[in-house]
A and B are shown apart, each in its own frame.
Chain A
Amino acid sequence: MDDKYLPAIYTGFALGIAFLGWRIDNAYYLQLLIFIGLNTLLALSLNMLMGYAGQISLGHAAFYGIGAYVTAILSTTYQVPPLLALPAAVGAAMLIAWIVGMPTLRLSGYYLGMGTLGFGMIVHIVLREWSSVTGGASGFVGIPPLTVGPVEFASNKSYFFLVWAVVLAVIFLCRRIIDSRVGRALCAIHDGEKAAAAVGVNTRRLKLQVFVLSAGIAALAGFLYAHLVFFISPGSFGFMASIKIVTMVVIGGMASIWGALFGASLLTLLPEWLHAFSEFEMVVYGLILMVVMIFMPRGLTRGLMDIYERYRKTHDRQ
């Protein structure tokens, strides 16, 4: 029943996005929606790893940063056309993920969390200290805009369509993976790694593959970010950035693609709402994290669904 409606839902969503892009002209709102799109990509990437495969990663912003910096360095210092820098950026992140993933994914639980955190911190420090290449703590200026053939994606409107087209493509990709045998194997790993191994799932290889894939998607987001703002600095890819990505996935709802979209939207817009409280922003942010996780550990979307289900059940009895 559900699968029948899926293509309709996708088309509807795509049309909705196209409509928004067509009607909204204000550059600020477009910018906001672009950032939501980028955050959705990040949330999707981590969702595949954490939500479906059940592997905690507290250093995911590192891949975001690697994607951004590789394209920045290649397209600015070495004058490589951005379109060619794209596979390099994504490829570099995936390679690093593969190398780091092999020893790290053998860990689990808290140890895995700390291992990924350590990795994320090291990448951040390298980006900050290797100033001859990355520009150091002062950041990297002068990134050229993205050109695909004759089209230059320099305006907010064109970038809006670009980013959301990519988001839709990635959603589609993730959906295909989840609905396949691979996806079921991932869930098996999530529910019980030993049991999954017992029924013949190659857990090590699968975990590594998901890790590499999610690194690639995050790097893609980094690539898009670099060519949007034309300036990047290590501060955007540190520990707090990784925590923000985790928050988006967790609050939006793990193991839910639309939850990732919701989580990304919420977290991008939250600072706008909290602006009135500017001094209290940290306090409110931390409070929201704690409260949502204590009472709705499966994320807001599922949490609200659970409440709805319980309400329906008590009413059905009458």
Chain B
Amino acid sequence: MQELLQYLFSGMTNGAVYAVIALGFSMLYSSTDLINFAHGEFVMLGALCMVSLTAGAGLALVPAFFVTVAAVAAAGMLFERLAIRPVRHPQPIVLIIITVGASIFLRGTGMLIWGKDAHSMPPFLDIAPIDIAGARLLAQSVWILVIVTALAAGLHLFYKKTLTGKAMTACAVNKKGAWIVGIPFKWMVLLAFGMSTGLGAVAGASIAPITMSSYDMGTILGLKGFCGAMLGGLGSLWGAILGGFLLGILEAMGVGFVSSGFKDATAFLLLLLVLYVRPQGILGTAEVKRF
């Protein structure tokens, strides 16, 4: 029993990481119909920025957090402006290659700035792990859970209640229609990218205390975060959280009850399963395949 509970908690730790990354993917997709393959790299930027600001520059936790998010969001908007908007015929294959190229570029930049070593960071609050029936849960995991729920709730309100949020949804639904009613389409996409990469930065900053941050951490995290987003339903915010957590827990269960070698395969097998059986994921609406 204790083992099962421990697997659950381990799964929740990883799951929280995947959930907050998945949120960034889903949010961008629901606003712009785009999938940013470089999203994992923005998570990396968030993590390493946070480490540099707290350790190197000696900033306190809260200001470092906000500076990190702002800086990475700015980088994301710059990316949109320079690499996405100039594309004249945005077909999936073109955008995929561009974002893949961006991911390689950002990884190389990360390596130049932060070197090849890993960096660690102390947790947000120095609390001992929480003990429940003999199984331990990291305090930082609870933090991430809280942050990701708050973010999802915030985004939900944003889309449903604010004018900007509704405008963004309109752009995703029908570009021309939105333009006709006077919504500044280009600004909406820019904002969506800024928000999505900002979310990535939050993810990175929150997981930096748990993981060891290095310039190449982004790729596999991005892929797994995407799998989580697909599992829960691409475009659905609560789906991203559900999918991320579910992925983390299933992975941990897989390690516990099957084998640890094939742990990575869990994410991709689930991805294929979702794609074949129910592409809209658990919480997604029956999505039109737009491409």
Contact = CB atoms under 8 A, between A and B. Distances in A.
The reply to whether A and B meet directly (CB within 8 Å) is yes
Interface stretch (B51-59, B83-91, B152-160, B206-214): B83-91
A121 B268 contact: yes
A282 interface: yes
B275 A287 contact: no
Contacts of B105: 282-283, 285-287, 289-290
A295 B111 CA distance: 27
Report, as a range, how many residues of chain B touch the other chain.
35 or more
A293 B101 contact: yes
Given A294-B87, A294-B98, A111 B112 contact: no
Given A243-B100, A286-B102, A250 B93 contact: yes
A247 B86 CA distance: 20
Interface in A277-303: 279-290, 293-295, 297
Interface string B268-291: 110110011001000000000111
Contacts of B109: 283
Given A114-B271, A250-B97, A286-B105, A108 B291 contact: yes
Nearest to B99: A290
Nearest to B96: A113
A141 interface: no
A239 B219 contact: yes
A149 interface: no
Given A56-B92, A58-B96, A286 B289 contact: no
Interface in A113-163: 113-115, 117-119, 121-122, 125-126, 129
Contact of B262 (A109, A129, A279, A294): A129
A51 to B, nearest CB: 10
B39 interface: no
A6 to B, nearest CB: 28
Nearest to A121: B268
B150 interface: no
Chain B interface mostly helix, strand, loop or mixed? helix
Contacts, number: 125
A293 B291 contact: no
A43 interface: no
A111 B101 contact: no
B265 interface: yes
A110 B262 contact: no
A171 B111 CA distance: 40
Interface in B125-184: none
Contacts of A282: 104-105, 107-108, 111
Chain A interface mostly helix, strand, loop or mixed? helix
B8 to A, nearest CB: 24
A50 B100 CA distance: 17
Contact of B86 (A103, A110, A119, A294): A294
B270 to A, nearest CB: 9
Contacts of B92: 56, 109-110, 113
A280 B98 CA distance: 19
Contacts of A126: 265
B230 interface: yes
Q: Which of A113, A117, A290 has the most CB of B within 10 A?
A: A290
A34 interface: no
Contacts of B272: 104, 115, 118-119, 122
Contact of B275 (A107, A129, A250, A279): A107
A50 B35 CA distance: 19
Contact of B108 (A122, A239, A283): A283
B106 A286 contact: yes
A280 B107 CA distance: 11
Contact of A286 (B89, B96, B108): B108
B279 A107 contact: yes
A115 B98 contact: no
B9 interface: no
Given A121-B223, A286-B105, 18 more contacts: A58-B96, A110-B291, A114-B230, A114-B275, A115-B271, A117-B223, A117-B268, A119-B268, A125-B265, A250-B93, A279-B111, A280-B108, A283-B108, A283-B112, A293-B87, A295-B86, A297-B91, A297-B94
Ranked 8 nearest A-B pairs via Cβ: A109-B291, A286-B105, A282-B108, A289-B101, A286-B104, A283-B108, A290-B101, A118-B268
23 contacts: A104-B275, A107-B289, A113-B96, A114-B271, A117-B223, A118-B227, A118-B271, A119-B268, A119-B272, A121-B265, A122-B265, A239-B223, A246-B100, A282-B104, A282-B108, A283-B109, A283-B112, A285-B104, A290-B83, A290-B98, A293-B97, A297-B91, A297-B94
